[in-house]
Structure 1
């Protein structure tokens, strides 16, 4: 009996050790970090990525307008089935923000969802999309972030209860769902569509809202951009594929114009949480809005993901 108990104890200990190993945060490979650190980031190019990535939508103070959106003091509350996540201060302030971060710290956060102190970030921070960003774009965005005003506002802790407050468990989530593979098979030989795929699946992180999720927060297989229930609890997030009723009948030109102006083909205007997204998209080059539209039109038709 003692031998059995000892054997079970050894197996349990071995299982725990394997579990800890499998769920450990995995930073970006050292060789890649060295390549990124060697780049001279272009702040002007980084500004376009800043707007494409929607950084101000979460990290500016709630309700901030115009130039105040560049003060990334945090505070926006993101509700979910797992708790409420509060966007942190990511201004260049060295104490309250990320001013003390190195380019490697920034790359690990964006590409691997790993913090400077070696912990998993919650995927409410959409590193599951940002992981597709290129080395050059990471360096450019970091260069722009360093030009922004500092804020001394302290970040607030997330309001997440047990068991979701056990960050190590996010390693298991990453094993199941974290990937830098393309989300969709489209005509990547077409440079306009390829650029649109990069923007939508990468920095634009459109799928984070427009794709339905399973009970543990992973994207539903074969439902990419088909729409989802609004995590805020009211209404739905539209289906962006050609099978959707919201924009399925729009031309690529209609989509690009909507992203630029906020007006639909039937002269309605943007509303809800899309207001800030459209404001960000309006700051992009017209060619990038055309690319996003081309990619969305190249998607397969899908039924609404919330039905």
Structure 2
């Protein structure tokens, strides 16, 4: 991921004991995913969206752990991040977290449907839509409000549109159209997602269950399906 703070590379998370996370305990894995802290106690860069994974349920964490254990181990070293001074100083991440870290919390809204609540959980948690569709400040911090208003100046130089119900409806999205867009990358007007959103679809949302996509569309369009 290329950003104004440098280039970040995803690490090896296969069960290889040397190059991957095969030597980790389950407790260390949970702490890394939910809190962004390595087994050595070092903070991860917020390029890893632990702020959103903080809300993952215990069952989600157990399922993720089981899934990773089933992946064939690969003895491939992780690529070192290319981060210039002063952002290459890990201690600075601790200072950043003090001022800007805002872990997502999830509490079901009992006045809304089960589908709406599941969609909210998915959008703000596992799918971490706000990582790109919420405007960040100059230092990459998230605002206090949870409004998917879009980001005209993303960290990688691109821009993201708002995902509010009003904005999506104005762009021609119905529930079925939004589900199909998240499945195929094709928008209601026949265009196709480009840039990082194309990666999101082809590497992520196209693999979700139909119910997951229905729930996300229900929440994003602020419907009240039962």
When normalised by structure 1's length, the TM-score is 0.66
Change (3 A) 1:183 1:298: farther
Q: State the shift of 1:253 in Å.
A: 2.0
Change (3 A) 1:182 1:252: farther
User: What residue number does 2:22 align with?
Assistant: 99
- Give the RMSD, CA atoms, in angstroms: 2.4
User: What residue number does 1:192 align with?
Assistant: 115
Q: State the shift of 1:266 in Å.
A: 2.1
Once residues 79 and 136 of structure 2 are traced to their aligned partners in structure 1, the CA distance between those partners, rounded to angstroms, is 26
Change (3 A) 1:217 1:185: farther
Asked if 2 retains the 8 angstrom alpha-carbon contact of 1:240 and 1:246, the reply is no
Change (3 A) 1:114 1:161: same
Q: State the shift of 1:247 in Å.
A: 6.3
Q: State the shift of 1:184 in Å.
A: 10
SS of equivalent to 2:29: helix
Q: State the shift of 1:114 in Å.
A: 0.4
User: What residue number does 2:189 align with?
Assistant: 266
Change (3 A) 1:206 1:178: same
In structure 2, runs of 5+ residues without a counterpart are: none
Asked if 1 retains the 8 angstrom alpha-carbon contact of 2:118 and 2:216, the reply is yes
Q: State the shift of 1:269 in Å.
A: 2.6
Q: Tell me the alpha carbon deviations over residues 195-227 of structure 1, each in whole angstroms, 9 at most, x when there is no partner.
A: 011111111111111111111211134463211
Asked if 2 retains the 8 angstrom alpha-carbon contact of 1:92 and 1:146, the reply is yes
Asked if 2 retains the 8 angstrom alpha-carbon contact of 1:184 and 1:224, the reply is no
Aligned match for 1:154, one of 52, 77, 80: 77
User: What residue number does 2:41 align with?
Assistant: 118
Once residues 247 and 114 of structure 1 are traced to their aligned partners in structure 2, the CA distance between those partners, rounded to angstroms, is 41
Asked if 1 retains the 8 angstrom alpha-carbon contact of 2:150 and 2:161, the reply is yes
Once residues 107 and 156 of structure 2 are traced to their aligned partners in structure 1, the CA distance between those partners, rounded to angstroms, is 27
SS of equivalent to 1:298: coil
Change (3 A) 1:181 1:261: closer
SS of equivalent to 1:282: helix
Once residues 183 and 215 of structure 1 are traced to their aligned partners in structure 2, the CA distance between those partners, rounded to angstroms, is 27
When normalised by structure 2's length, the TM-score is 0.87
Asked if 1 retains the 8 angstrom alpha-carbon contact of 2:133 and 2:162, the reply is yes
Asked if 1 retains the 8 angstrom alpha-carbon contact of 2:51 and 2:101, the reply is yes
Q: State the shift of 1:276 in Å.
A: 2.7
Aligned match for 1:129, one of 52, 64, 79: 52
In structure 1, runs of 5+ residues without a counterpart are: 1-77, 300-307
Change (3 A) 1:218 1:121: same
SS of equivalent to 1:295: helix
1:206-285 alignment to 2 at 5 Å?
A: 206-222=129-145, 224-228=147-151, 229-233=153-157, 235-244=158-167, 248-279=171-202, 280-285=204-209
Aligned match for 1:296, one of 211, 220, 223: 220
Q: State the shift of 1:194 in Å.
A: 0.8
Higher CA-based Rg: 1
Q: State the shift of 1:122 in Å.
A: 0.5
Asked if 1 retains the 8 angstrom alpha-carbon contact of 2:133 and 2:160, the reply is yes
Change (3 A) 1:184 1:124: farther
Change (3 A) 1:232 1:174: closer
